[in-house]
Amino acid sequence: MKTPNAPAPAPQKTKYTAQALTVLEGLRPVRVRPGMYIGDTDSKGMHHLLWEIIDNAVDEAVNGYADCITVTVCEDNSMIVTDNGRGMPVDIHPDKKMSGVELIFTQLHAGGKFDNKSYQISGGLHGVGASVVNALSEWLVTEVYRDGHVYRAEFCCDTDEEGNLIPGKVKRHLRACGKTDKQGSMVHFKPDARVFSTTRPDAHIITQKLRELAFLNAGVTFVFTDLRKAPEEQKQTFCYRGGLVDFIRYHNSGKTPLYPDPILIEGAGDGISVQVAMQHTDAYTESIVSYVNNIRTTEGGTHETGFKLAVTKVFNTAAREMGVLKDKDENFTGEDFREGMSAVILIKMRDAQFEGQTKAKLGNAGVKTATEAVVTEQLSRFVQNIRHEEIVKQILEKAKSARNVREATKKANALARQKNSLDAVALVGKFAASIGRDYARNEMFIVEGDSAGGSAKQARDRRFQAILPLRGKPLNSEKRRLDQILSNEEIRSIITALGTGIGDEFKMQNLRYNRVIILADADQDGAHIRALLLTFFYRYMRPLILEGHVFIGMPPLYRIEKKAGGEVRFAYTDEECDRQTEALGGSRGVVISRYKGLGEMNPSLLWETTMDPTHRTMIRVGIEDVAEAERMVTVLMGDNSEVRREYIIENANFSKTDEFASKYHG
């Protein structure tokens, strides 16, 4: 705001008045262009006022003077923030002839707060400070508790004789107005409805923010009180002694970590403080969140770059030392090490430069170097510690499997891309493509077993139905791991026939079969094949499942024939069998036979009961089915044979399938 060619000082006597005028003039630009200071005048901008005040309190805590911050939303939607720090300065500034408190609330970028470089490292989105909050409030009251006294100042948005708005005008100068044994600061303000499209604070948004701040500032207690709610629901407290480590635990709750304790990295260099907590889970995606001065950097930036470089370097070195990487040119990619990794990065620094679409990307080049150095140093030390050997092994195992999957995916995509590959599928002699090119109508049946496959080929309507027989055995026993599944010939046929590609290269618009229908027996082998295929689709062709293209075909479980007259009905579940039996005159008058497998059915029966779109029953696969399938695959393919045995015994009656069917039938 200050320019080098400021006018010469006015004569001594009028100086104070002139100063005061400048002050008032000083806040007017905020009112004229609020967007320049707080981004928007919507709910987000309104909450931004609260974040600004909270940030000042957090600064006081970061500097070690406060450990409790309270936020209260009052019944009139005004908000109160307190801290138990030193209290804002109450003495008169010698040059400005104004109390520190009034300077803070009436001067844009007031006080040494923004000059004194050692002070501000927390900072709001733009670090615009309390004066902007005052300028955009209907009224603002502040109190300081210091040296046994309560000091109080009041501001409000006034109008002059000509009807012009004077934002943030001093209504009552700072004065001592009582005694106290408390220490700290209080700010009570009401966002101006003439500025904001909404002035109703959102309790959910505020608690999210306070929880986040509590994670980022270990040991600081945040108390939220919403006086608009019933007394028993008003108060929520957030305090995490473990800081970022607690953040990661919270983030990973509901996931399965590969090792119990998150890895903590803390250090500083070049005046930049770096804190990281990380932990791998059995998930397949990476999840890195980063902050600079408590501000979320959703677009990443130099700190994330430095972190990733260091992680890749340190773990590749470890992999070489432990003999996991043998060739000297052989390396894992960064992504291999980040599969399933949750990490939170917190940088504290001065003069952070934000860039990108939403100004949420850190630009300072020095931060890359500093973060890389700190993480490399600390993580190397962690990795070399003999007590962490098991953890490092787990991480390297995870990277190995990520690499295998990545390479297998690449190969499978390349294969599916090859010209003539469709013909190659046909040549394999197993896949029977449909003749029609009406992709929206086309269906592909994946059928367990060669004999059922043969029946299905005869039964199908070749104009729109394709058949791919799957031999159960190889999928079942030898091809255990996901990346190995990709080398299975039939799986490759599926990939080629569907035409979409897999993984990152998946393209829905290339889908050649609108419905993919899995047809397997209602026994343990069939369940296993179903689970494997679902897991495969989920991992490599997820949109196919999410957009409802995958189905489970339901062959009937029972054939019920009336002795007299020979009428035949089919049932897909136990309950339905009872119902149909009843309908045909009760159990005495019928013959019930249970189908053991698809192989028992002749083509016309298979068509009638299972493939004919006008009569069949199918389950559209949803995300819960995949979750169940993944659990099943994990158990059945995992190393724990005891759990596997239990699972098989528990599921031996295949009631799961019946449950599925009764849920979706009809």
Give min distance, CB of 252 to ligand 28F, in A.
33
- 523 catalytically annotated: yes
Judged by CB under 6 A, the stretch of 21-29, 112-120, 513-521, 654-662 that binds ligand 28F is: 112-120
Of residues 618-637, which lie at the interface with ligand 28F (CB under 6 A)?
Answer: none
Nearer to ligand 28F, 119 or 284 (CB): 119
Contacts of 230 (CB under 8 A, 6+ apart): none
And the tokens for 183?
A: 């220490």
Half-sphere exposure for 228 (CA within 13 Å, toward CB): 12
Q: Min. distance of Cβ 70 from ligand 28F in angstroms? A: 9
Of 18, 24, 67, 119, which one interacts with ligand 28F (CB under 6 A)? 119
# residues near ligand 28F by CB under 6 A: 20
Residues of span 28-57 touching ligand 28F by CB under 6 A: 53, 56-57
x/- track of binding to ligand 28F for residues 131-170 (CB under 6 A) = ----------------------------------------
Q: Helices in 63-108 by DSSP H: which ranges? A: 100-106
Instruction: Give the active site residue among 212, 286, 299, 523.
Output: 523
Return the residue of 185, 252, 312, 617 that touches ligand 28F, per CB under 6 A. 185
Of residues 102 and 625, the one with the C-beta less far from ligand 28F: 102
- What's the per-residue H, E or C state across 272-339? EEEEEEEEEECCCCCEEEEEECCEECCCCEHHHHHHHHHHHHHHHHHHHHCCCCCCCCCCCCHHHHHC
Residue range at the interface with ligand 28F (CB under 6 A); choices 85-93, 411-419, 426-434, 591-599: 85-93
Told to check if 294 binds ligand 28F by CB under 6 A, we report: no
> Does residue 187 interact with ligand 28F by CB under 6 A?
yes
Residue nearer to ligand 28F on the CB measure, 214 or 531: 214
Q: Is 226 a catalytic residue?
A: no
Q: Phi-psi region for residue 2, left (φ > 0), alpha (ψ -120 to 50) or beta?
A: beta
Q: State in angstroms the smallest separation of the CB of 56 from ligand 28F.
A: 3
**Closer of 186 and 352 to ligand 28F (Cβ):** 186
Which range, of 84-92, 320-328, 332-340, 375-383, touches ligand 28F by CB under 6 A?
Answer: 84-92
Q: Measured from the CB of residue 337, what is the shortest distance to ligand 28F in angstroms?
A: 42
Return the structure tokens found at 9. Answer: 């000082």
Using an 8 Å Cβ cutoff, are 513 and 444 in contact? yes
Nearest to 364 by CA among 352, 347, 374, 346: 352
CB 519 within 8 A of CB 466: no
Q: Do β-strands 149-159 and 165-179 pair in parallel, antiparallel, or remain unpaired?
A: antiparallel
Q: Is 67 a catalytic residue?
A: no
Least Å from the CB of residue 300 to ligand 28F: 30
Choice among 102, 226, 521, 576 that is catalytic: 521
Active-site option among 154, 212, 525, 561: 525
Judged by CB under 6 A, the residue of 39, 89, 454, 543 near ligand 28F is: 89
Number of H helices and E strands in the chain, helices first, is 23, 25
Q: Which residues contact 656 (CB under 8 A, 6 or more apart)?
A: 527, 628
- Which strands sit side by side in the sheet containing 465-470, from one edge to the other? 465-470, 443-448, 515-519, 550-553, 618-620
Binding of residue 368 to ligand 28F (CB under 6 A): no
Q: Is 112 in the site for ligand 28F (CB under 6 A)?
A: yes
According to CB under 6 A, which one of 78, 82, 275, 279 is a site residue for ligand 28F? 82
DSSP code for 99: E
Of 186 and 383, CB closest to ligand 28F: 186
DSSP code of 477? I
For strand 465-470 and strand 443-448, is the pairing parallel, antiparallel, or unpaired?
Answer: parallel
CB 82 within 8 A of CB 53: no
Min CB(54)–ligand 28F separation in Å: 7
Q: In this structure, what are the phi and psi dihedrals at residue 497, rounded to the nearest 5 degrees? A: -65, -40
Question: What is 106-142 written as a DSSP string?
Answer: HSTT-STTTT-TTT-SS--SS---HHHHHHTEEEEEE
Residue from 28, 44, 86, 171 in contact with ligand 28F (CB under 6 A): 86
Please tell me whether residue 88 binds ligand 28F under the rule CB under 6 A: yes
Q: How would you label 214-243 residue by residue, b for 16+ Cβ within 10 Å and e otherwise?
A: bbbbbebbbbbbbeeeeeeeeebebbbebb
Going by the DSSP 8-state scheme, the letter that residue 572 receives in this structure is: S
Q: Residue 391 is inside which H or E element, if any?
A: helix 389-417
Interface pick for ligand 28F out of 23, 30, 31, 60 (rule CB under 6 A): 60
Q: Closest separation between CB of residue 361 and ligand 28F, Å? A: 28
118 near ligand 28F, rule: CB under 6 A: no
Give the residue with the Cβ less far from ligand 28F, 100 or 300. Answer: 100
Residues 6+ apart with CB under 8 A from 588: none
Instruction: Give the range of 77-85, 206-214, 369-377, 446-454 binding ligand 28F by CB under 6 A.
Output: 77-85
- Shortest Cβ 91–ligand 28F spacing (Å): 10
Dist. CA 323–CA 330, nearest whole Å = 11
Segments of 356-397 assigned E as strands: 361-362
Instruction: Please state, in angstroms and rounded to a whole number, the distance separating the CA atoms of residues 180 and 50.
Output: 26
Q: Which residues contact 198 (CB under 8 A, 6 or more apart)?
A: 42, 43, 46
Catalytic position from the list 226, 448, 490, 576:
448
Please tell me the distance from the alpha carbon of residue 593 to that of residue 595, in angstroms, as a whole number: 6
Which listed residue (23, 38, 81, 571) binds ligand 28F by CB under 6 A? 81
Task: Provide, rounded to whole angstroms, the least separation between the CB of residue 411 and ligand 28F.
Answer: 59
CB of 125 or CB of 502, closer to ligand 28F = 125
644 binds ligand 28F, rule: CB under 6 A: no
Q: Quick one: 150 or 415, whose CB is closer to ligand 28F? A: 150
Q: Any idea what DSSP says for residue 16?
A: H
Applying CB under 6 A, the span of 80-88, 240-248, 289-297, 311-319 interacting with ligand 28F comes to 80-88
Task: Return d(Cα 280, Cα 336) in angstroms, integer.
Answer: 12
Active site residue 483: no
Q: Which amino acid is at 210?
A: L
172 three-class SS: strand
Which listed residue (3, 5, 12, 116) binds ligand 28F by CB under 6 A?
116
553 makes contact with ligand 28F (CB under 6 A)? no
86 vs 171 by CB, closer to ligand 28F: 86
| Contact between 127 and ligand 28F per CB under 6 A | no
Question: Least distance to ligand 28F from the beta carbon of 81, Å?
Answer: 4
Chain contacts with ligand 28F (rule: CB under 6 A) = 53, 56-57, 60, 81-83, 85-86, 88-89, 100, 111-113, 116, 119, 185-187
Q: Which residues are catalytic?
A: 448, 521, 523, 525
